[in-house]
Amino acid sequence: MILLRRFAALGALATTLGISAPEARLENGLARTPPMGWNSWNHFGCNVSEQLIREEADAIAASGMRDIGYRYVVIDDCWQTARDARGEIVADSARFPHGIKALADYVHGKGLKFGIYTDAGTKTCQGRPATLGHEEQDARTYAAWGVDYVKEDWCNAAGLVAPTQYAKFRDALAHAGRPIVLSICEWGSNQPWEWAPPIGNLWRTTDDIGDNWASMLSNLDQNAQHAAVARPGAWNDPDMLEIGNGGMTDDEYRAHFSLWAIMAAPLMAGHDVRTMSPSTKAILTNAEVIAVDQDSLGRQGMLVWESPPELQVWAKPLADGSRAVALLNRSSAAAKIAASLPRIGLHVDSVTVRDLWAHADRGRFGKEYAVEVPPHAVVMLRVTPVKR
């Protein structure tokens, strides 16, 4: 199955490297590059409060994460407890004593944007009140609170039709009159890559990520199948980042970050920013890797070569004609991996190579660049044609 999927990815290479697919995307003017920010779920689960979100926003600003691009601060599930007599959604008053509007104002005051979570069904995944039948009302409420980003989940949605429900919420957000990113979260269960581009700015393609190497690779392999669909305003979402949560080595987290950047994935950090280690910070604020993710061409990179099943070369075309390349070693032994120029889509005599984790120029090469890659790691490169 995985191999079949990989062949499909190789087959779609021409599309991604050269020919543009027809334009079809949500025209709300947002997410022209993949959204970047922070979300509470991966680290805190239901344990959210206004105090926590304020402290995380403070840390995102103070650590430099904000200024390098992490803008959306998103509260995931469990902020809501009920609906009032008028059907208005009610926040947990013990955990959010000043209400969501005051929290959004605080986040905005930090130079950040504010995001929130709901669900298209009757209840959220954690059993809180969800949006079914309240689409226009909730969209108005969110707009009045100053929400900039909504993640809409798909639990407790039996019998509902995903494109219909998500389009309903897209329209409700448009009627509410505030520019709001719509993040579709139905885990790839209704083939969103076929219908989501004109509805949401991003859509999950996988189940929830776990903080381990196997889960990260599984989400990579699934998300990679839909590369041809991604474009500015409309992104495949292989789920949020686990960097800094402790379940992977630094090499594995560097691979996670590199591969998400190669796939033009949303970069939503999911750790405790207040206590992050220097190595977590160095990974999440690598400006050269972020530039690959945020490249204005907006193409999702693809698998372009493999020695099954463990050694792979991934490549992403960039606006300046260069290629971002990840040499990925999925095995548990060090191995040499070569990026040949035709395989990464460069039909030129020579290139310069820069290593984006070593922050070092490697020189000028013809034909290929080959290097030893440690186990469970990537070497990430920017490969630029030499102009004659």
Options 50, 153, 293, 295; binder of ligand GLA; rule CB under 6 A: 153
> Catalytic: which of 138, 153, 237, 295?
153
- Smallest distance, Å, CB 82 to ligand GLA? 17
DSSP, residue by residue, 215-268: HHHHHHHHHGGGGGG-BTTBEEE-----TTSSSS-HHHHHHHHHHHHHTT--EE
> Catalytic: which of 208, 250, 251, 355?
208
- Taking alpha carbons only, the member of 144, 205, 141, 198 closest to residue 171 is 198
d(CA 52, CA 30): 27
In Å, what is the CA distance from 326 to each residue of 17, 215, 261, 313? 15, 18, 10, 6
Options 56, 76, 237, 295; binder of ligand GLA; rule CB under 6 A: 76
Interhelix angle for 135-145 vs 162-176, to 10°?
40
Query: Residue 371 corresponds to which amino acid?
Result: V
Does the protein bind ligand GLA through residue 202 (CB under 6 A)? no
Task: Name the residue nearer to ligand GLA (CB basis): 41 or 253.
Answer: 41
Options 48, 116, 182, 185; binder of ligand GLA; rule CB under 6 A: 185
Does the protein bind ligand GLA through residue 269 (CB under 6 A)? no
Specify whether the CB–CB gap between 301 and 34 falls below 8 A: no
Task: Name the residue nearer to ligand GLA (CB basis): 117 or 369.
Answer: 117
The span from the first CA to the last CA of the chain, in angstroms, equals 44
- Smallest distance, Å, CB 255 to ligand GLA? 21
The count of residues interacting with ligand GLA (CB under 6 A) is 10
- Smallest distance, Å, CB 91 to ligand GLA? 16
CA 152, 155, 159 angle in degrees (round to 5)? 105
Give the DSSP letter of residue 275: G
Does the protein bind ligand GLA through residue 148 (CB under 6 A)? no
Cα-atom radius of gyration of the chain, to the nearest Å?
Answer: 21
Q: Is 208 designated active site?
A: yes
207 burial via Cβ count (<10 Å: 0-12, 13-18, 19+): middle
Options 125, 172, 337, 378; binder of ligand GLA; rule CB under 6 A: 125
d(CA 189, CA 184): 11
Does the protein bind ligand GLA through residue 41 (CB under 6 A)? yes
In Å, what is the CA distance from 308 to each residue of 4, 171, 198, 291, 328? 12, 45, 36, 29, 12
DSSP, residue by residue, 166-231: HHHHHHHHHHHTS--EEEE-STTTT-GGGT-TTT-SEEE-SS---SSHHHHHHHHHHHGGGGGG-B
Query: Residue 305 corresponds to which amino acid?
Result: W
Does the protein bind ligand GLA through residue 152 (CB under 6 A)? no
Task: Name the residue nearer to ligand GLA (CB basis): 119 or 295.
Answer: 119
- Smallest distance, Å, CB 373 to ligand GLA? 31
Specify whether the CB–CB gap between 312 and 382 falls below 8 A: no
Does the protein bind ligand GLA through residue 77 (CB under 6 A)? yes
- Smallest distance, Å, CB 78 to ligand GLA? 7
Characterize the bridge pairing of strands 377-385 and 351-355.
antiparallel
Does the protein bind ligand GLA through residue 186 (CB under 6 A)? no
Interface segment toward ligand GLA; rule CB under 6 A; list 82-90, 123-131, 139-147, 252-260: 123-131
Interface segment toward ligand GLA; rule CB under 6 A; list 83-91, 120-128, 224-232, 321-329: 120-128
Q: Is 119 designated active site?
A: no
Query: SS3 for 7?
Result: helix
Task: Name the residue nearer to ligand GLA (CB basis): 16 or 39.
Answer: 39
Specify whether the CB–CB gap between 285 and 64 falls below 8 A: yes
- Smallest distance, Å, CB 86 to ligand GLA? 26
Subset of residues 304 to 333 that bind ligand GLA, contact rule: CB under 6 A: none
State the residue number with the nearest CB to ligand GLA: 125
Task: Name the residue nearer to ligand GLA (CB basis): 204 or 231.
Answer: 204
Interface segment toward ligand GLA; rule CB under 6 A; list 122-130, 173-181, 284-292, 364-372: 122-130
Does the protein bind ligand GLA through residue 126 (CB under 6 A)? yes
- Smallest distance, Å, CB 358 to ligand GLA? 33
Annotated catalytic sites, by residue?
A: 153, 208
Residues that bind ligand GLA (CB under 6 A): 41, 76-77, 124-126, 153, 185, 187, 208
